[in-house]
Structures are given as structure tokens and as C-alpha cells.
Structure 1
Amino acid sequence: MAGYRDLLRTPGVGRMIAAQLAARFPNGMSSLAILLHVEHTTGSYGAAGLALAAASVGQAVAGPVTSRWMGAWGMRRVLTLTLSVCVLAFVALALLPLQIPGYMALGLVAGLSTPPVQAAVRTIYPKLVNSSQLTPLFSLDASLQEIIWILAPVAITLVSTQIGSSVGLLLVAAILVLGGGWFILSPELGRVRIPRSRRGFGAVVLRPPVMLATVIGFLLIGSCAAVEVGVVATFDHGGLEAGIVLAVFAVGSLAGGLATGHVPIGPWAMARRLAVVTVGLSLTLVSLNVFWLGGTLLVAGIGIAPALAVLFAITTASVKFSETAEAFGWAGTGQLIGAAAGSAIAGFLIDLSGTPQGAYLAAILFAVAALIVSVVFVRAFPDLRTRDPSPIPDTEPVSTLMQQP
């Protein structure tokens, strides 16, 4: 932990971590807030699912686009524009009397305008610390983001069910303003400028490490989403046990990320970390007892944040600085699509098997697929044990001819 203390003493690091966590906190609330509000006002989970699907599609489409805009227009301008539109969309969702098409339209707008905070902060990190601190910083970031997924769903569920679903949406809007405003006004955003990318839109995702980060992120988050569906189905649609078990899953990830933060990242790092996730998830099929599930998901969680840290590190180390934000935008889109696919497949397998174990089977299949990809394509992973994990500079040395005297 001494290494993390030294890291947090680096000027700007602690403030940037706190600000981006506050700015991203609504990400853990928005889906549930939309789901609960639309179901409450229409009386239909189907309608709520359509509105939520529209928001998810919007986020997936916008991720690479708004991230790339930051290189053309500047981070503060893009973040301020998207934040403003997103806040207005949530206020409208909360206050306007709408039918299903209206909820879907505003859900799509809210998704499209989700501020690209994650891409922005992971572009800033390499400029705050030296190369030896970058991998631990990514591990710390991946670990601390679990706080969002532990606290945010509980907070929005309590507010939306006990006070009112409209109040829940307004709470999301308020936190967007406060957290997003803090992040946008952070001095670090003014000191870091992303150069305009010279390559065409989407070209960065064709780089093997970025493609691997996108594909493995899709599979890993798909596995986590399937676990969430399985836990909720196991404990009667979100009882106290469900919250506790999911919290244990997140705590395992938090602990794993903090424990491995200073471990050098080699080509086999991803495979080893995904193996831990796969073993833990495989054990869930033995029993649906709350203590057994808690223990097995604690084991599986130990590999989640470390695997995400590898994704962040190989993405940063494999692209030019001007392409970093767009690369993280594509990786984020992969994760969003994975979450939707994992939830859908888990639900289908629960219906097909008639038991929550279908969802855990889906989670295992996603994790096994991620492990296979990481093994088969191991040569495409950069070896960060012996090289600088910082982004490739946009300026390169130019060869000149020297005239002999």
C-alpha cells in the first residue's frame, strides 16, 4: 500500500481519481433509474426494457465518436456539451408525461450524450505520472471504480422506490452536474490537450492490442452482466442476499486490483487473470447457497479489476497519444455491447433451463471465451515488463542529410 500512497501524493492524481469517480457515479445509477421510472409510469417491464435498450444503443454508438471529438474540439468543450444535453434528457425523462416512443427517444438522447469521462481520464493519466507509475495507476483506477457498482445501484434503488422514480432521475441529473462539473473544472483538463488524430475514424481499433482490448472487454463485461442476472434470479428479484452477494463480487475485484497493481504486465498476464475469473465462476454451478455463491464470486472477482487494468495498459501502450481517447471509446463500446449481450443470453438460458444456473453457465461461457482469446492471441499482447507503457509520441524523429564540409 506504500506504493499507492506515493502515487496519490503525486500532484493532481488524487484529485483526478476522485473527480472522475464522482463524474462517472451516475453511470451506475442511470440504467436502474430509467428502468424503474418507465416501469412505474407505464406498468410494463417491456416498455422499460425498450427505453433502456435505446439508452444502451446510444452509449455504444457515441463512445468512439465523442471520444474522438475531444482531439478536434478539446476535452472541456466536448464534456460540457455532452453533459448539458445528458442532464436535460434526464430532467425531461423525469418531468414530462410521455408514451413509450417518447421514453425511447429521450433514452437514446441520454445515451448518445453520455459524457466520455472514462476516455478523457485515461488519456490524462499518462501525463500525470511517470511510466513506472502508470500500471499501478490503472490498477488503482480499475479497483476504485468498483465503489460505483457497490454504492450507486443501492442508492438509486432506495431513492426511486422509497421516494419516487422521478426523484431518482432528478438525482442522476444533479450528480451529473456536480460530479461532471468538478471533473470539467479540474486543472488537469486544462493542462492536457489531445492532438488531432491524423488517421481515419475507426482505424485505431484495427491495431491488434486495441482489438484485443475491445473483444476481451466485451466478453469479460458480458460475463459480469450474466452474473448479475443470475444473482438477482437466484434471490427472488433483488432481495437482501442479492445485494450482499454482488457487493462481495465487487469487493473481490477491488481487493484483486489493489493486490496486483505493482505486478509487471507480460503477454500472459491477461490469461492468468482470466483463469482466476473462470475458475471462480465455474464453481458457482455446484450450489446456489448464498454462502457458496458469495465465496465463489469473491474468488472470481479477484481477477476482474486486474484483467481490466491489463486492458487499459495495453491500449495506452499501443497507440499514439492523439488516438488514446478514441481507442478507449471503442473499448467502452465493446464493454457496453457485452453487458447487453450477457444480460440477454443469461435471461434466455434461465428461461430455457428453468433455473438461475443458466445465467451462471452464460457467465462461464463468456469467461472461457475471453480466456481462449487471450491464450490464442498471446503474441499480440505487448510485453510491458521491459518497455514504457506510455502512449506512443505523436512527434517522431525526422532523418536529415548532413552536408559534408
Structure 2
Amino acid sequence: MSGMGQEDGGLRAQRALWADPGWRRWVLASLFPRLGGAMMPFALLLVGEAALGSFASGAWMTSAYAVGAAVASPFRGRQMDRRSLPGALRTPLLLQALLCGAMALAGTVRAPLPVLLGLSLLLGVIPAGVAGAYRALLPSLLPPARLAPAFAIDAVLIEVAWIGGPPLVGALALVHPALSLGVIGAGALVALGINRWLPPRAPPPPSTLPGDRVSLRPLLRGMPLRVYVSVVACGVGWGSVDTALPARLVELGSRAELWGGLSALLSVTSAVGGLVHAGLLRPSSPQRALGRALVFLSLWGGLLLPTVWMDSVLGLGVWLAAAGLFLAPLVGLLTYLLQQALPSDRQAEGFALYGACWALGIGVGSALTALLLRHASAQLALVPTGAVPLLAAGAVVLLTRAQPRPPPVP
């Protein structure tokens, strides 16, 4: 009975959430930037391969994009925290649309690698912090009781974007490799219009000391640090599989564009896992939530690792689908843990740093792929997809055990 009661409570929370008009407007507004983010790595990989004839060049472009986002996100997030939202999103979305057009043109005329790398870097830097700003809007739109189911459903919505993004890139690449960049730019312009329907959020009053507000140090200890380490590991796994799988498919005699379908399969199972997890009662304490997240991180890495030994598309698909079941639940738990641990005046910055860690992981994973493609093979380039998340789960356990325990309350 208790299990059924937990499930009914979770379903009631979801129904109440979707009945909230502020939540529905937020979902629509955040959809297009997320879809563009899901499309960008695969789009840059294919544009680089088409322009320069090498998947390694495309992987370096993806890495430059991700590193640019990782470096810029904390600072852009800090700017978002100190400005009214969603008005602060106007300039980065407009510039992203212009840069997408410039990259599409550069790829079409086969510009040299330094030019493509520079544009890739700017495509990461300019919209950095946008995703964190959207998440920072949630506490001003929803009552506190709805934030936990909101972050759980938000993890599923991210997977919805990843379901549609890579297959759309693959389909558009059959017409022209650079066409997907035009679609990403158009989506940024659409988001500009939809943002007008969101209620404005004024900068929150400071809740931290002046010195803490300009330093990242308070965000890099305790629970936020464990969340960020886990996010980097997830990003390395995704960055590696996102850039190594297309080359591995070609190595197996298939087409690189098929990765769009396999990516959608992974995202579908991730969305299913996220929906199931959202219907469950959340863990009773942050420590229990972290423990569950580490189990999911280990399962994500452990189920990706066998892709190294698969020599068929079917085998790759089976293990990708199995790993996907735990990705959205993991992301939902990590975002909830972070939201609970951040001060109110650093929400956008903290979530931007979350995005930076994800981007940093993708950049590291893409760089590892580029190196392994050049010096080894596409098969070996898949090793970091599972190995890094498993190692990171162990590292977070060690960090947790090393932290001094608070004295017992008398």
C-alpha cells in the first residue's frame, strides 16, 4: 500500500504541475534553446567532416564549442543573476542566430580549420548561461512544493529535446550538412518571441556575503561540488559517444547519420526512465538522493561500456537503450540537489556552472575521441563513454566519506 501511495502522490504532483499555466509557458519557452543545444554537437561534427573530410576535425570543432560554453557559462550565469529575466536572454539568442548563419556559410565554402574552430568557440560562448537562466526562473514561477516534480519532469523534457535533436540533424544532413545550423538559428529567433509571454523576474536580493557573490569558491564545495563532478562525468560519457559512434558506424560499414536514430533510441528510453522516476516519491534527504544518483551514474557508465565490444548496429542499440533508462532520473536528481543547495541570489550562476560542467565533459569527451580517432580507432574511442562515469561515481563516494560529519545534536 505504501508503494501505491507514493506512486499516487507522485502522479498527483505531476497533474498539479501541468495544470499550472506558468509551468506550461516555461516549458514552451525553454524548448527551442534546448533543441538547438541537442542538435549543435552532432551538427558541428557533420559540418566539420563535410568541410574538411575528417571526423577528427569535426570532433575538435565539437570540443571547441563545448569548451567555450564551459568557460563562459559561470560568468554569463552571474550576469543573468544580476539582470531581469527573461529580458537578459535577448542578446545571446539573437547573436546565436547570426553565428549559426556564419558557421553554415563557412562550412559550405570549406573554410580552413582555424576559422571553423573560432566560430565553434563563439557558438559555445555566446549562448552560455541561457539554460541556467531558464532554470533560475522556475522558483519564481512555481510554489516550493512543486519544484521537486518540476525538476524531475524537466529532466524528461531535456530528453525530449535529445530525442528530436540528433535525428533531425541526421535527416537535414541528407539534404546539406549545414542546414541544421540554419534550423538552430531559426529556433533561437522563435524563442525570442515566446519569451515575451513569460512573467519578468527581477534580480533577487543578495543572500550571500559580498565576497562570496564574486567568488566561485562557495559553489565548489559540499553538495554542489559532488553534483558538478557527477555532471562532468556524464558529459564525458555523452561527448565520447556522440562523437565516436558516427565514426564507429562508418567503421562497421554503416552511415554516420544513423547515429541520429540511435541517439533518439537512447533518449526515448531515458525519457521513459525519467517518467517512471518522476512518479516515485523523492528521497527523504539529500544524502539519500545523492546515493541514488550515484547508483544511476554507475549504471549509466556500466551499461555504456559494453558498446566498445559490439560489432553490430543492433548490439550498439541494445546497450545504448539500456543505459538511457538511467540518464533522465540521474539528471533530475542532480538538478534537484543543486537547486536545494544554492543560495537564492546565485541560482542562474549555479545552474550555469552546471551547464559549464556538462559542456566541459562534452569537450573532454570530444577531445579524447579526436585523439583516439587519430592515433587508435573508433572502437577504442568508445572506452571513455563508460569508464569515466564509473570512476567518477567512486570519486564522489570518496569525497563524501572525506567530508567531516557534523557533530550530533544533543
Using structure 2 for the length normalisation, give the TM-score: 0.81
- Specify the code of the residue in structure 2 equivalent to 1:158: A
1:151 equivalenced with 2:169 (yes/no): no
- Specify the code of the residue in structure 2 equivalent to 1:363: T
- Specify the code of the residue in structure 2 equivalent to 1:86: Q
TM-aligned CA distance change 1:380 to 1:86, over 3 Å? farther
Offset of residue 141 of structure 1: 0.7
- The answer to whether the 8 Å contact 1:281/1:363 transfers is yes
Residue of 324, 333, 345 corresponding to 1:322:
345
Residue of 145, 170, 186 corresponding to 2:197:
186
- 1:72 is aligned to 82
Offset of residue 260 of structure 1: 1.1
Residue of 101, 104, 110 corresponding to 2:117:
104
TM-aligned CA distance change 1:41 to 1:341, over 3 Å? closer
- The answer to whether the 8 Å contact 2:168/2:260 transfers is no
- Alignment map for 1:126-145 (pairs within 5 Å): 126-145=139-158
- 1:291 is aligned to 314
Offset of residue 263 of structure 1: 3.2
- 2:358 is aligned to 335
Using structure 1 for the length normalisation, give the TM-score: 0.82
- 1:361 is aligned to 383
**Seq. identity, %:** 25
1:127-160 deviations in Å (ceiling 9; x for gaps): 3333332222111111121122221222233224
Q: Which has the higher contact order (CA 8 A, sep 6+)?
A: 2
State the alpha-carbon separation in 1 of the partners of residues 59 and 302 from structure 2.
32
1:263 equivalenced with 2:273 (yes/no): no
- The answer to whether the 8 Å contact 1:226/1:345 transfers is yes
TM-aligned CA distance change 1:258 to 1:95, over 3 Å? same
1:172 equivalenced with 2:184 (yes/no): yes
State the alpha-carbon separation in 1 of the partners of residues 308 and 55 from structure 2.
29
State the alpha-carbon separation in 1 of the partners of residues 402 and 226 from structure 2.
8
1:192-228 deviations in Å (ceiling 9; x for gaps): 5344563223234223222112111001121122233
3-state SS of paired residue (2:21): coil
- Alignment map for 1:4-403 (pairs within 5 Å): 4-43=14-53, 48-95=58-105, 99-114=112-127, 116-162=129-175, 164-182=176-194, 184-188=195-199, 190-191=200-201, 193-195=203-205, 198=210, 199-236=213-250, 238-239=255-256, 242-261=259-278, 262-265=280-283, 266=288, 267-284=290-307, 287-346=310-369, 348-349=371-372, 354=377, 356=379, 358-378=380-400
3-state SS of paired residue (2:311): coil
TM-aligned CA distance change 1:153 to 1:218, over 3 Å? same
TM-aligned CA distance change 1:290 to 1:46, over 3 Å? closer
TM-aligned CA distance change 1:70 to 1:130, over 3 Å? same
TM-aligned CA distance change 1:294 to 1:46, over 3 Å? closer
- The answer to whether the 8 Å contact 2:166/2:264 transfers is no
- Specify the code of the residue in structure 1 equivalent to 2:349: E
Segments of structure 2 that go 5 or more residues without pairing to the other structure are: 1-10, 404-410
Segments of structure 1 that go 5 or more residues without pairing to the other structure are: 382-405
TM-aligned CA distance change 1:177 to 1:195, over 3 Å? farther
TM-aligned CA distance change 1:123 to 1:101, over 3 Å? same
- Specify the code of the residue in structure 2 equivalent to 1:122: R
- The answer to whether the 8 Å contact 1:204/1:319 transfers is no
Offset of residue 294 of structure 1: 2.5
